[in-house]
Every structure is written in structure tokens, then in C-alpha cells.
Structure 1
């Protein structure tokens, strides 16, 4: 079976890192090595990592992004596979066991599992949990069956090491290295796959402040990759290009959908109650069945999952605002040289992880 090294980039992660490392150390198929990159931490991140008996690399200064921290560790990897895991992500005990068989296909160079939220305490975490349940049990399987995953999540993706070395490491040219490498490899004719049975739990933003930071980075990175790769996708990977074009189309049309109840009520004098019932009913008919299916797959209380649906509209509003901002900045202002776009990597969470 292929050998595997785990790279964990960590900046001020002393609170969240123990759970991540413990999940790696109790894998049913253990990794050959775990490397923590203590990237300019001013807390006890390095001490915590060493206490778990893993390899710790300490760059001379903060490298400034997750991709750069991962690239710092890459020359120290000698295994067939490299698994990149965020320092606030916990893997299921059989994650490596489930992800490795994807590489039995020699065409596969990147594989990622099913990401769910670790905590559902705040309204923002509850909204994100609904997004993940829907996305990873509906969108991702469809994309995978079409051999065109849109992204292999950076918090828990495995890669062939020789591909990474040949490619020049984790890409640093965009603010989201996971999407960049997922698209680049598919354009090159290689395969990226989604492994739904390999489950990971990520700690998502618990406040609006950090949700905004994360979503801005994600949306800016998405449109950076659109600017960089869409032409190549249309020529070399048309199905993936279709998913991307549909996502951009959704950004354009979402304001109309959100405004529909008000337009129908004010402009066409439809009864308010009837209009809202039609609008909400249309949403729920589409979203409820996949969420019920996801809840049963994850063995979650169905009622609790459905009660979180209302919170997803808060996260959707944040998503839409930053999607439009990113579209304007990255697709209009950057080509016109009126902006550099987003170049500073900011975490989507505080430096400490609240208790479960």
C-alpha cells in the first residue's frame, strides 16, 4: 500500500492542534510521518506538536499563507502520498484507510473526503453546517460522478507527491491553493476525486467577523481561478467549465431570487403571505430531501438539521455580498490594473478554539 505523510500547517493553533494530531495518531491505517509546520506562532503551537511526538518544522519567519507553509514541508516528504490537514480539522479514524484506495487508479492525483462542521453552537456555524450537509451529499457526488469535482477541500486533501514536486508544490499564485490545484490537474488531463466515505470535521467561523474573512478569501480565490483557468477549462475540461459557469450565473441571478418576494408583492400586488409561501416552498422542496438524506447518512437528528435551515440564509447573505465584491475586484478591477486583488491570507477563525 502507498506510503503517506501528513502535513499540518499551523499558525497559533495550540488550542485546536491537539484534537487534530490525536485524530491522526489514532488512524486505522497510520501515516508514515506527521509533519507540523509551526509557521511563526507566538503561542505554544510548537510545544504542543512536539508533545505528540511528531516532526516539527519551524520556518525562520511567518510565511504568510497555508500554501507556503505546506511547501516548506514538501521537501521533507519522501512518501508516495501527501495528506494536507488543517490544524483545526479532525479526521474520522478511518479517513486514511478510506482515502488511499482512490490512488489505486494511476490517473488520480488528488482526492478529498466529506467535510462537515465540528461545532454547531452559533448561528453562523449552524448555517455553515447546513451548507456542508447539502453540498457534500448533493453537489459533490454529482460532480464526482461527472468526473469533474469543483474543489478538493484543502483541509483534508491527499496528493501524489511526485505530482506536487513536478507542479512546483502547492500553488501560491491564488489565495485558495486547493481550488487552483484541483482545476490545474484536471486541465492537465489528470483526475481529482471525491471520497464520500472519508469524513473530516472542520472548525468553522463562530462569529460574523471571521466568517467574513473566510468567505472573502474563498470568493476572491474562486474568481482568481476563474480569471486564470476558465479558458483552459472550456477547452480541456468542458464539464468542469460548465459547473463554474453555472456558479457564476448563480451569483448574477441570486439578487433577483432574493428580491422576488418584494418585487412580486410591491410591483405586481401579490398577497404577501401567498408570495412568501411560494418563495419558501420552492426553496424547501429543493433543499429538504437532500438534507434529510444527509442527516440519515451522518446519523444526525433530522429535526435538528431541518431547524438549522433558517440560519443558512444568514450565511448565504454573507456569501452573496462577498461573491459580488470578488467578482468586481478580481474580474474587473484587477484586469484593468485598478486593484491587486486579495493577496493577504487571513484565517477564518480566531487563534483559539472554543470548547465543544
Structure 2
């Protein structure tokens, strides 16, 4: 029987932390221990954690990243599995129970479930909810069938502790430790597993300012991992290299796709309205089937899923801007020693501190 220790890195998370800890206390298979890393919080994070009866660890100073906070807690883990949960993520009651069987296969070193948004109040949260439903019910299942998942989400991933310790802990060399570890372990011949039946609800950025911070971190981290791992992926995990290459090609060709109706209208006799209608029809044909399936799979009202669909184009625009920025900075300027790349880990949601880097717990 597998045993689990949960690590919750937290910096100024007094507002979201209670729901996270309550979801852990409601698990059908309880963790043996919950460790909250109160990483130099200036609010009541430590007190809130202590009031829930969990173990609170306090580094002597702000560590500066989620991976470093998790590594601070890792020596306190004695169970065979470690579950990393963000301090603003709520796990379904059966999350641990559903993920555990993945580790019955000794080749599996990391596993995670599907992520959904906790809130759909703003255009940005609604757009992100559509992205998650599409990604976790289209891209991720295909990658899982090929035994080559792109990433086990850092907000809710379970790790085999011995493998994690042997690797040196959560990787700190890139800005996105979850993708770095997922790729590194697959290159080493270990398996990453997507467990579709396990569900986690993450609190995503509610406004544009914090969405931009999160997306820049994600895109920069993706390109950092491409720079670090792509050659080894081609040799040791070619299918994963294919997914990575397709992701890069999607970034490169997205502006052309978005400009297609205008180009068609400008270069042919087709009326602009007809060109836009053709483009919108093609978009819906590509997008709707996975969303309809996702609504059915997660027992969500289809009307609500469809109502959020237009919002995804706002988040896609932000994604595209920072994806191109990441390609230029991380894959061109950094190798030429003309830029340092992204090294400061900032939260993807509002922080109560006035300024400065912080351990991020949102995605």
C-alpha cells in the first residue's frame, strides 16, 4: 500500500490555503502527513496552516521559487510518494485514491490528474477554463496513449520519493519545475502518467496583470526546457520530441492562422464576411468536439462551456504574445548571451506583498 506526504509551498496564501487544506482533510485516502512551507509570508499563512493541524515549516528567508520551497520540505518526507499541491488548488475528494494505482507500475515515477479552474468570474478565468477543458480532453489523452505526456501539472503531481531524491529534488534550473522533471524522467527511461479520473481545481489569474506574469513564466519555462532537453528528447523520447516540435510550430504559425480571413479577403474576390465565416466555422469544427466531450466527461452544463468559448480568444492572444517573446528571448538571445532569460519566479495571482519575487503557488 502506497503512503503519501503532501507538500504545500505557500507564500502569502492565507486566503486560498484553507480550501486547499480542507480538501486534503476530505480525501478518501488520507495522506500520512501534510507539510506546509510558509516561505517568508507577511500575512497569516503560517497561522492558518497551523490551525488546520498540519506541519508548518519555515525557511529562514524567502527561498524565491516554488521548487526551492518544495525542496526545503523534501527531507521531511519519509513516505514512498510525495504529492505536491499548490496552496490555491483544491483536490477532488478521491484525488489521492485515484492517482495511487498509477504507481503500482514500478516504471511510473510521476503522475497527475486533470486540472480545471476553480472560478469563472472574469474573462481571463473563463478563457483559461476553456483552455483546460480542451487541453486535458484532447492533447493530454493523445499524449497519454503514446506514453509521452508533455507535463504532469505542478499544482497536483505525485512523485515516487526515491526517484525524486535520486534526481536531486525538484529541479531549480528552469522556471517550471514540473515540465523539467517530466521531461528529464522520460529521457531517463521512466514513465510519467496522466490520470484522467483525478481532478484538481486551480485558482487561475483573475486579471490581465497576473495572467501576463503566469503566461510569461509558463512560456519562458517551456522554451528553457526546449533549450535544455530537446536534443536528448530526439534520441531517448522521440514521440515527446514530436509533441514539443508541434507546440513550437503552433506558436510559429498561429499569427498566420489568425490572419487567414483577412488575407483571403485581401487576395481573393471573397467578401470579408464570408472569409471570416469560413474561418470561424473551421475554428468551431476543430474546437467544439473536445469541449462537448469534456462537458460530458466532467458533468458540466454544456451551455456554460459554450458561453465561455469566446473568452478563450482573449487568453490565446496573451499566450501568443508571450510565446513569441519566449522564443526570441529563451531560444535566440540567451544562447547568444544577449539576455539572461527569466530567472525571477513571480506569482500568477495577486500577492499581498508590496513588491519583489515570491514563491508562486498558482499553476
The residue aligned with 1:271 is 271
Distance 1:270 1:315 in 2: 29
The residue aligned with 2:155 is 155
Q: Deviations over 1:275-316 (max 9, x none)?
A: 011100000011111101101111111011011110000000
Alignment of 1:173-192 (within 5 A): 173-192=173-192
SS in 1 for 2:224: helix
Q: CA deviation at 1:266?
A: 1.9
Whether 1:213 and 2:190 are equivalent positions in the alignment is: no
The residue aligned with 2:244 is 244
The residue aligned with 1:35 is 35
Q: CA deviation at 1:134?
A: 0.6
Alignment of 1:134-149 (within 5 A): 134-149=134-149
Alignment of 1:219-230 (within 5 A): 219-230=219-230
The residue aligned with 1:326 is 326
Distance 1:65 1:102 in 2: 28
Distance 1:213 1:293 in 2: 31
Alignment of 1:27-176 (within 5 A): 27-176=27-176
Q: CA deviation at 1:152?
A: 0.2
Q: CA deviation at 1:73?
A: 0.1
Distance 1:24 1:219 in 2: 30
SS in 2 for 1:5: strand
Distance 2:320 2:295 in 1: 26
SS in 2 for 1:308: helix
Distance 2:254 2:267 in 1: 19
Distance 1:78 1:218 in 2: 31
Distance 2:349 2:12 in 1: 11
TM-score (norm 1): 0.98
The residue aligned with 2:335 is 335
Aligned residues: 353
Alignment of 1:270-349 (within 5 A): 270-349=270-349
Q: CA deviation at 1:340?
A: 0.5
Q: CA deviation at 1:273?
A: 1.2
Q: Deviations over 1:67-116 (max 9, x none)?
A: 00000000000000000000000000000000000000000000000100
Q: CA deviation at 1:162?
A: 0.4
Q: CA RMSD in A?
A: 0.9
Distance 1:150 1:296 in 2: 24
Distance 2:303 2:93 in 1: 27
Distance 1:284 1:126 in 2: 17
Distance 2:184 2:253 in 1: 28
Distance 1:94 1:177 in 2: 25
Q: CA deviation at 1:270?
A: 2.1
Q: Deviations over 1:164-219 (max 9, x none)?
A: 11000000000000000000000000000000000000000000000000000000
Structure 1: which 5+ runs fail to align? Answer: none
Distance 1:115 1:4 in 2: 20
TM-score (norm 2): 0.96
Moved over 3 A (4+): none
